Amino acid sequence: MTLRQWALDGKIPFTWVGRERRFSCVDVEDMTRGGDSTTVRSRLELLYVRVSGSSGQEFSLEAQEAELRATSTGEIVKVVEDRGSGLKENRPGLNRVLAMVSDGSVSVVRVTHEDRLARFGVGWLKRLFAVYGVTVEVLHPKKLGGRDELLEDFVCLATTFAGRLYGMRSADNRRRLLTESGQCSDKGRVW
């Protein structure tokens, strides 16, 4: 009951998982050790921006960052940029986000759109972050449901795989043309 009251009074951060409140064990320990129940954990924000391509989309990164900065209500600890597909699990920027969440450096991870964080599995990331007392805030949440959301997910998946397939074909064709022209060895290296 005490923990619930602290949450209602805004003295301890929490996240909703279904119909239950979840609290960070670090925050609970701080509240019980400190004895001062008026201390509120400061809002430490991590801004995460991502584009799918490796180059030519700097404007999009800058626009995402500017929008997140303009709506910030806490201290911005770091801005993490990533360049790569939202389906790729091992992105350097996402790995930095996970490290900062797990070491307690931030209390909020903010993104402009949910798919900037990941194309699929954002729910799992939110649950993981909640274990550390970190919330995910999406500036423009999806307003879809049911079939529309399923259709959008399918289109994203098909688009992503088509792009990868075309990229692989392009690399194969380039290698084949270089080999035929005599500018390339049989291992695909340019002489």
The predicted structure's pLDDT at residue 191: 46
Helix, strand, coil distribution of the chain in percent, nearest 5: 45, 15, 35
CA 108, 66, 14 angle in degrees (round to 5)? 15
Percentage of the chain lying above the pLDDT 90 cut: 29
CB 83 within 8 A of CB 56: no
The predicted structure's pLDDT at residue 123: 86
Mean pLDDT of the chain: 81
Stated pTM of the model = 0.60
pLDDT at residue 187 tops 60: no
The predicted structure's pLDDT at residue 7: 80
The band of 145, judged by pLDDT with boundaries at 50, 70 and 90, is low
Phi, psi of 150, rounded to the nearest 5 degrees: -65, -45
**pLDDT tens digits, residue range 71-111?**
998 899 999 999 887 777 788 999 999 999 999 899 999 99
Separation between Cα atoms, residue 188 and residue 191, nearest integer Å:
9
Percentage of the chain lying above the pLDDT 70 cut: 84
Of residues 74 and 150, which shows the higher confidence score?
74
pLDDT at residue 30 tops 80: no
The predicted structure's pLDDT at residue 66: 95
Separation between Cα atoms, residue 62 and residue 164, nearest integer Å:
25
- Tell how far CA 34 is from the center of its chain: 32
Of residues 125 and 156, which shows the higher confidence score?
125
Burial class from Cβ neighbours inside 10 Å (0-12, 13-18, 19+) for residue 98 reads middle
The predicted structure's pLDDT at residue 135: 92
Q: 121: alpha, beta or left, given left = phi > 0 and alpha = psi -120 to 50?
A: left
Separation between Cα atoms, residue 10 and residue 31, nearest integer Å:
12
CA 104, 105, 109 angle in degrees (round to 5)? 95
pLDDT at residue 188 tops 70: no
**Dihedral through CA 170, CA 173, CA 179, CA 181, nearest 10?**
-100
